[in-house]
Structures are given as structure tokens and as C-alpha cells.
Amino acid sequence: MKVTTQEFGGCFSIELQAENLEEAALLTRFGMNATRQLNHFSASADEKGKFSLHAVFAKGKNAGNDIPNRYRKREGA
């Protein structure tokens, strides 16, 4: 997964870009099932100089692994 972070005047952004099909499927499920509710967010540094950021988003009540087919052929087409 390629991660890009940026800082702007009034905000920060984190962009995730899939580098293989497994990661693409994970990002698709995340986009379909995650809510805007942020359950946990933290940033830290340890004594060895390792910096990390952790964000946990809630899942919707009807979250699942199935990706709907939005391009089904219409009957008779």
C-alpha cells in the first residue's frame, strides 16, 4: 500500500493507494463499509525513534465483504 501524507494550511491529508488486487479489495471494502465515525486516533513516537499514526473507523451496521455488481446487463439488452 502506498501512503502519501500532506499538510495544508488548515488540515492534514492521508492518501492510500493500492499496489495489488488484495489491497484494492481492502480499500473497496473500506470505502463501502466504513462510517465517518472515528473510534480511535493517536500519533506517537517511541524511544527507538519509531513514529506511528493509528486511526480506527467504525463499520456500518450492514457491513459485508460482497462488492455489488453495478454493471449488470439489463434483461433483453
pLDDT digit string (tens) for 33-52? 999 999 999 999 999 999 99
Q: Considering the chain, what percentage of its residues have pLDDT values greater than 90?
A: 74
DSSP per-residue letters across the chain: -EEEEEE-SS-EEEEEE-SSHHHHHHHHHHHHHEEEEEEEEEEEE-TTS-EEEEEEEEEPTT--SPPP-TTPPPTT-
pTM above 0.75, yes or no: no
C-alpha cell at 41: 486516533
Give residue limits of the domains in the chain: 2-59
Q: What is the CA radius of gyration of the chain?
A: 17
What does pLDDT average to over the chain?
Answer: 88
